[in-house]
Amino acid sequence: MQIAIVLFDRFTALDAVGPYEVLSRLPGAETVFVAEHTGPLRNDNGGLALTADQTLAEVRRPDIVVVPGGPGQTPQMDNETLIDWLRAVDATSTWTTSVCTGSLLLGAAGLLKGRRATSHWLALEALGGFGAEPTGERVVFDGKYVTAAGVSSGIDMGLALAGRIAGDRTARSVQLLIEYDPQPPYDAGSPDKAPADLVAEYRENTRHPQ
């Protein structure tokens, strides 16, 4: 079971590493970070670099595709090499997935038309522009398409997908090993829960959701 995780300049690190940390622990999983070119790719803040070990051209039939988001997603919308690759691998994938604004890339590839999907809360409106039906849910399954909300939601998506792929017992086993028993010290992780003025500030000022 090959799991291809896409990288591009200015991706958001946790979007990629959250699902990686879960899915890479499944029996038979072979994960590969892929990008247009191999080598290190810098994240949104520039302080972190993850290595792409194979090119898009080298990975032709992954079983699972994971597309992260981040500010770097915007220029990728016009990257025909990536968009064409997404369409091509989707033709044979078992699961096509995204975290955060990665769903906008799936949308740009025409893969979410008429499908329920999600994205970072600041990008839900844009998602509708690709014919998807945006939901405010954290993890959305529609057929083989699985989209997750902002950044940290990829861990929840990874576990939900792990259950579908390998069964509840294996998914619980991974959850126990990564000790995923979240206890956030605040309850501000969604626009419904955060202080209204913070939400309004982001809506007004953020043109590049992360």
Residues that bind its own copies (CB under 8 A): 12-14, 17-18, 20-21, 24-25, 30-33, 40, 45, 47-51, 53, 100, 120-121, 138-139, 149-153, 155-156, 159-160, 163, 168-169, 171-173, 175-186, 188-191, 193-195, 198-199, 202, 210
Q: Which is nearer to its own copies, 78 or 192 (CB)?
A: 192
Distance CA 136, CA 166 (A): 27
How crowded is the C-beta side of 210, counted as CA atoms within 13 Å? 13
Q: Which is nearer to its own copies, 67 or 109 (CB)?
A: 67
Is residue 55 annotated as part of the catalytic site, yes or no? no
Note whether 116 and 140 are within 8 A (CB).
Answer: yes
Catalytic-labelled residue, pool 100, 117, 155, 160? 100
User: Among 85, 99, 107, which residue's Cα sits nearest to residue 37?
Assistant: 85
Strands 145-148 and 95-99: parallel
What is the nearest approach in angstroms of its own copies to the Cβ of residue 84? 25
Note whether 82 and 60 are within 8 A (CB).
Answer: no
Q: Which is nearer to its own copies, 8 or 33 (CB)?
A: 33
What is the nearest approach in angstroms of its own copies to the Cβ of residue 137? 9
Residues 6+ apart with CB under 8 A from 168: none
What is the nearest approach in angstroms of its own copies to the Cβ of residue 159? 5
What is the nearest approach in angstroms of its own copies to the Cβ of residue 51? 4
Q: Which is nearer to its own copies, 8 or 121 (CB)?
A: 121
Residues 6+ apart with CB under 8 A from 26: 1, 162, 165, 166, 170, 174
Distance CA 76, CA 109 (A): 11
Catalytic positions, written as ranges: 100
